[in-house]
Structure 1
Amino acid sequence: MASPANPLPHSGAGVPPSSFEEATYRKVAWRLTPLLMLCYVVAYLDRVNVGFAKLQMSTDLHLSDAVYGFGAGIFFLGYFIFEVPSNVILHRVGARVWIARIMVTWGIISMLTMFVTTPTMFYVMRFLLGLAEAGFFPGIILYLTYWYPAHRRGRMTTWFMTAIALSGVIGGPVSGFILKSFDGLNGWHGWQWLFLLEGLPSLVVGVLVFLVLDDGIGKAKWLTAEERQLLESRITHEDASKEDLPIGRVLASPRVLLMSLIYFSFVMGLYGVSFWLPTIIKSTGVTDAFAIGLLSAVPFAAAVVAMVLVARSADHRRERRWHVALPAAAGAVGLVFSVIWAHSTVLAMASLTLATMGILTTLPLFWSLPTAFLAGTGAAAGIAMINSIGNLAGFLSPYAVGWLKQATGANDSGMFMLAAFMVLGGLLALSVPARLVSK
């Protein structure tokens, strides 16, 4: 075991890590990953529970599919406006305070959504929710670069992003149960209880983040001096090969713009499925809210397994591009067959499961591409820009699907559109030079 007086050897490509290094990274993973996953579960639940609320609130508030789609998507306009500033602030003031602030404010706004009575109020609350949450996801991606080198970050990012799938596994049945069991209690509709009860965990977890999250390796008192030295040496070694460019140059970089377009394509698929999955399942003939919630958990449960296995393969082989492109193609196939087999609940669910597995698997592995060449404040701005531009698809996707469904009377056109974007994203990922991202 190396002492603080002697430099620790770098574990680069072809150099097997020591047992001390593996034990140190396991220690870090067990400290950070459960908390970060918990944060994202409650974040994603507050973001997409509107998909379940729609099952009742569309009737109660007389919202058309186009109005719902616009309201679901306007979240991302608020998100876009404050994304880059929020991430730069996080880089400067620290993750502990800023992530806690984000979680508490979005929890409050999500809960207040229970009081909307008109389409305009619905739009305003969704927009404010996006402003409140801006910076959370790119902030966590940036935060992981403080702890992990590229060849370890793919797996850690995947574990963090399995929270999307877990929120579907947990949120589907819970949301369906709330809609069915709480409807009418205290004179409130089920969808009002949904926003209230699913907003509360964000407040609790936000306080927890403030109490236990460390801003970086240097402030982690639970690490020994040797462990801190090892972790810092790995990050220093990797950062030496990156450029910490001025924010202006990063935002105008062709590489960053390419990454933004790739991510935009994948997010089109993600939110098309996330916001419309309950409605699609209902269209196959399932009408009970709790049954819809249970069925919606199936694709996300399968996605957890796919995400972990593919990420493990990518880190082991130190290959990113094909591990992004092939799941994207699988997601596209699943989307296409979900409408071809829409007459059968079983076949449609099998197709939606394949689509969800493919779409969710692309996302964490995508983030191993830009973080391989961005560093410092430039990384904070670049990651935020990629995420904010990509998440404009979160506005366009549900709105476009809703508009196409209303115009055609079926889900077919919307799902075909999402499939095309998944194929485009996969092809663009393959266009990224392998030397740039193979670390």
Structure 2
Amino acid sequence: MDNTIAKSRWYRLLPVAFVTYSLAYLDRANFGFGAASGMATDLQITPAMSSLLGSLFFLGYFFFQVPGAIYAEKKSAKQLIFWSLILWGGLAMATGIISNVTLLIGIRFALGVVESAVMPSMLLFLSRWFTKAERSQANTFLILGNPATILWMSVLSGYLIQAVGWRWMFILEGFPAIVWAFFWWRLVDDSPQDADWLTSEEKRALEEQLQKEQQGIKPVKNYAEAFKSRVVLLLSLQYALWSIGVYGFVMWLPSIINAAPNMTIVKTGWLSAIPYVLAIIGMLSASYYSDKTLNRKAFVWPFLLIGAFAFYGSYLIGTTNFWLSFALLVVAGGAMYAPYGPFFAIIPDLLPKNVAGGAMALINSFGALGSFIGSYIVGYLNDATNGFGMSYLFMAGSLLLSAVITLLAVRKPAAVGLPKQKELSS
């Protein structure tokens, strides 16, 4: 489809999607800064408990992905995300109020439950608004909320903790999600047919193109058939391994940097932001060329391989040269983020819309499981070995396996003809 048709979709919907996911990511990732500051001392949190708390979010996230996505697919993504915004903002603020670890355990798990449907629901939402030739870039503008948030959150959280303490950091960073819920409700529509800001011609052209794309995809009867398909099973495993690297990195990078000599929490914030600058550049570039070529796989596995080698390099350097090791961590962080847009365009390219949302939720739920494992084991290895080398090696191995599985999962680029029937068979 000519992307001049309904150009208003890009500046109407993508900024809203970006801000929404940005706020979701803010309220899950700022825990790493709370843990690196006075939170552990004030609540008497042991290193082992800190690892558990960092990973509990992903346990709640794992169990409720698919039900949330099915609700969004059958009912309303707009409604689901509206209530999620209010609830996760409230839970994030509550993190700054509680006074014991037991309540914190409940809040971290509940935050995962509330946020669980956001990612698959937003991906499903965008697949109703953007065509195959636009989807990787649309996904990237959504997921840019991840590294872009950590970029400014790393700096802001460092200053907030220094100025008002970790409690007020959580309160001040949780409140905007509640306010934004009402902007979300006013600005978005579940489908093009509901939008009074599109002309009848724009609605018709967009709907015709989306329907034409569906005709080229092998029908899949139900979720059970989709969940048993080879590509969904392999991509679920691939994303779990990928997420081990990503969230081990995200949750523990502030602590890794803060352990360096002569480091302050403000310096930690600035240095923690650097990998995400490279991540943003990589994500925009990979998604642009992925949509140009419609070759999704070629813009996923090479980046994961680069991330694996960068982590392995940091492992080999160890503590002998902090700045060289940090530079490799910057490369690893950027490389891990770059493929998100192309990756999440694979399933809507291969599966029909009646099951694509549920399939993306299943894959994302395994990503949450990998995130749980990654954030917990990285924290455990850091504590058990009194250093970071073994966790670098662990993340390198996970990314290497993820790259290999990507090559196995998607046998041919989605642009080459129509999806092969054997790719979707169980």
TM-score by length of 2: 0.93
Written as runs of structure 1 = structure 2, the 5 A alignment for 1:1-400 is 11=1, 21-55=2-36, 56-182=38-164, 190-242=165-217, 243-339=219-315, 340=317, 342-400=319-377
Q: Please state how far the C-alpha of 1:215 moved relative to its aligned partner.
A: 0.6
Please report how far the alpha carbon of residue 70 of structure 1 lies from its aligned counterpart in structure 2 after TM superposition: 1.0
- Structure 2, unmatched stretches of 5+, are 417-426
1:62-97 per-residue CA deviation (whole Å, 9 max, x = no partner) reads: 222221111111111111221111111112222221
Contact 2:274–2:330 under 8 Å retained in 1 = yes
Task: Determine the C-alpha separation between the residues in 2 that align with 1:321 and 1:91.
Answer: 26
AA of the residue aligned to 1:365: P
Q: Distance in 1 between matches of 2:337 and 2:256?
A: 18
Q: Decide which of 388, 394, 408 is 1:417's aligned counterpart.
A: 394
Structure 1 regions of 5+ residues with no counterpart? 1-10, 12-20, 183-189
Q: Is the 8 A contact 1:244 1:379 kept in 2?
A: no
- SS of 1:391's equivalent? helix
1:378-422 deviation per Cα after TM superposition (whole angstroms, max 9, x unaligned):
112111111111211111111101111111111111111111111
- Alignment root-mean-square deviation, CA: 1.6
Counterparts of 2:230 and 2:178, CA distance in 1: 39
Query: Which 10-residue stretch deviates more, 279-288 or 412-421?
Result: 279-288
- C-alpha distance in 2 between matches for 1:385 and 1:36: 21
Residue by residue over 1:159-191, the C-alpha shift from the partner in whole angstroms, topping out at 9 and shown as x without a partner, is: 211111100111001100110011xxxxxxx11
- Which AA in structure 1 matches 2:70? V
How many residues get paired?
413
SS state at 1:416 partner: helix
AA aligned opposite 1:24: I
- Cα distance per residue 1:177-231 (max 9 Å; x no partner): 110011xxxxxxx111111011011111111111111111111111111111111
Indicate the larger mover: 301-310 or 279-288.
279-288
**What letter is aligned with 1:331?**
G
Contact 1:33 1:160 survives alignment (8 Å): yes
Maintained 8 Å contact 1:321/1:432: no
Amino acid at match of 2:57: F
Contact 2:56 2:372 (C-alpha < 8 Å) held by counterparts? yes
Contact 1:88 1:377 in 2 (8 A): no
Secondary structure of 1:63's aligned partner: coil
Query: Please, what TM-score do these two structures have when normalized by structure 1?
Result: 0.90
Deviations 1:122-179 (A, max 9, x none): 2111001011111000111111111122221011111211111100111001100110
Contact 2:293–2:415 (CA under 8 A) maintained in structure 1: no
CA distance in 2, matches of 1:320, 1:424: 18
Tell me, yes or no, if the aligned pair for 1:284 and 1:342 is still in contact at 8 Å: no
- Structure 1 residues 334 and 379, CA, compared in 2 at 3 Å: closer, same or farther? same
SS of aligned partner of 1:151: coil
Distance 2:346 2:193 in 1: 26
Instruction: Name the stretch that deviates more: 229-238 or 110-119.
Output: 110-119
Q: Equivalents in 2 of 1:342, 1:354: separation in Å?
A: 18
Distance 2:25 2:157 in 1: 13
Shift of 1:297: 1.0
Q: Tell me the distance in 2 between the aligned counterparts of 1:205 and 1:149.
A: 27
Q: Which digits, 9 at most, give the CA deviation of each residue in 1:34-76, with x for residues without a partner?
A: 1100011111010110000002212222222221111111111
Q: 1:217 to 1:257 in 2, by over 3 A?
A: same
Measured after TM superposition, the shift of residue 330 of structure 1 is 1.2
CA contact (8 A) 1:113 1:125 kept: yes
Matched letter for residue 112 of structure 1: A
Give the letter aligned to residue 277 of structure 1: L
Change beyond 3 A, Cα 1:409–1:217: same
Aligned to 1:297, the other structure's residue is in SS state helix
Paired residue secondary structure (2:7): helix
Q: Aligned partners of 2:294, 2:20: CA distance in 1, in Å?
A: 28
Corresponding residue of 2:423 = none
**Aligned-pair distance for 1:252?**
2.6
SS class of match (1:23): coil
Distance 1:408 1:151 in 2: 47
Is residue 341–residue 347 contact of structure 1 (8 Å, CA) maintained in 2? no
- Cα gap change, 1:217/1:336 in structure 2, threshold over 3 Å: closer, same or farther? same
